Structure 1
Amino acid sequence: MREDRSMDEIRAGRVAAVSRDDTHRFSKDAVEAVTLLAGLGVEGDAHAGTTVQHRSRVAVDPTRPNLRQVHLLQGELHDELRERGFEVGPGQLGENITTRGLDLLHLPRGARLHLGEEAVVEITGLRNPCAQINAFQPGLLKAVTPRDPDGEVVRKAGVMGVVVRGGRVRAGDRVEVEVPPQPWEVLQPV
């Protein structure tokens, strides 16, 4: 958790878009609403399930718990990438929920996002994008995983979470952050 940011600065935001796809494609289709299912993920999405659903992870161990049920991405990344010449929009980077006004990347592990009226997603870690992102648009992997001045990789491609409480989520819904008790764990790739 970055110490120079107050939790008040990152406690609330909005859902900008929601997306899902029933096949294992890189991008997801933007839809009017998604239904989150407790312990599973996004109804009708290929990555929903209690155990790992990402093909590379299934190949390693299909019995591992699915810590990547929901992919959330800050819409401000779309803006940054468009300024750099990439053509990206909601769902195109594989995210299920695109947010605005919320610093997802600096939330602590275990933070809970209250989405809309009922749904709650607990953040498990950072998305670690793979080479498929370059097949979508060349150079995109480097753009979403730059290095900081110390040479460390900065992962900007959103966060992953599990559904704690189900419910419908749609664009315009409020997102409120509930942080776990300190000490906070910095997000790591999952």
Structure 2
Amino acid sequence: MAGSVTAVSRSATHTFSKVPLESVRLLPGLGVEGDAHSGTTVKHRSRVAHDPSQPNLRQVHLVHAELHDELRDAGFAVRAGDMGENVTTRGVDLLGLPTGTRLHLGESAVVEVTGLRNPCGQLNGLQDGLMKAVLDRDEDGNLVRKAGIMGVVVTGGEVRPGDPIRVELPAGSHHPLQPV
């Protein structure tokens, strides 16, 4: 399975949306250089309030551009970075990846997938109804979260739009993604 990076974004402050850039640098064990969510321990405000010593399993947020297409078809105006993602991808079934998958981005960066992003009500602050639009139900009635995945940086490097993505599945049994 291979795909490509369509956009990269970051924000130095805890704004909901992030600014698309020409490139971002991923730092091993930390996340996106200069991003408010970079660090070894949790940076999301609600998680910091609960326990600031928790490991940061949400260093990098990835969203598939196909979700943006789906949302545009449903009448939403969503661009790369709007939903807080650092890396926007195309051609990789992010939501179908197992925990522990390694995504090789560009020449050297590697992000290990830790879980699903649990969408929050701030999405409705971006556009009314967006929260509901990124949630669905499968054929068995189980909740499907479509707002992207989270990961940690294993190997650092520069990531740019147009960079290839190579998917490396984990060895052994695979476990479906859960919210982190």
Instruction: Name the TM-score, length of structure 1 as normaliser.
Output: 0.93
Structure 2: give runs of 5+ residues left out of the alignment.
none
120, 127, 132: which is aligned to 1:130? 120
27, 39, 47: which is aligned to 1:49? 39
Structure 1: give runs of 5+ residues left out of the alignment.
1-10
Q: Secondary structure at the residue paired with 1:161?
A: strand
Question: Residue in 1 aligned with 2:84?
Answer: 94
Question: Residue in 1 aligned with 2:169?
Answer: 179
Summarize the alignment of residues 4-83 of structure 1 with structure 2, pairs less than 5 Å apart: 11-83=1-73
Q: In structure 2, what residue type is equivalent to 1:18?
A: V
Q: In structure 2, what residue type is equivalent to 1:155?
A: R
Q: C-alpha root-mean-square deviation of aligned residues, in Å? A: 0.6
Segments ≥4 residues shifted beyond 6 Å: none
Q: Secondary structure at the residue paired with 2:144?
A: coil
Task: Render the CA deviation track for 1:46-74: whole Å, top value 9, x for unaligned.
Answer: 00000000001000000000000000000
Q: Shift of residue 134 of structure 1?
A: 0.8
Q: Shift of residue 181 of structure 1?
A: 1.1
Question: Residue in 1 aligned with 2:137?
Answer: 147
Q: Shift of residue 182 of structure 1?
A: 2.5
Q: Shift of residue 149 of structure 1?
A: 3.3
Q: Distance in 2 between matches of 1:33 and 1:170?
A: 4
Q: Shift of residue 183 of structure 1?
A: 0.8
Instruction: Name the TM-score, length of structure 2 as normaliser.
Output: 0.99
Q: Distance in 2 between matches of 1:46 and 1:150?
A: 37
Q: Secondary structure at the residue paired with 1:76?
A: helix
Counterpart check, 1:162 vs 2:159: no
Q: In structure 2, what residue type is equivalent to 1:62?
A: P
**Sequence identity of aligned pairs in percent?**
67
Q: Distance in 2 between matches of 1:12 and 1:30?
A: 22
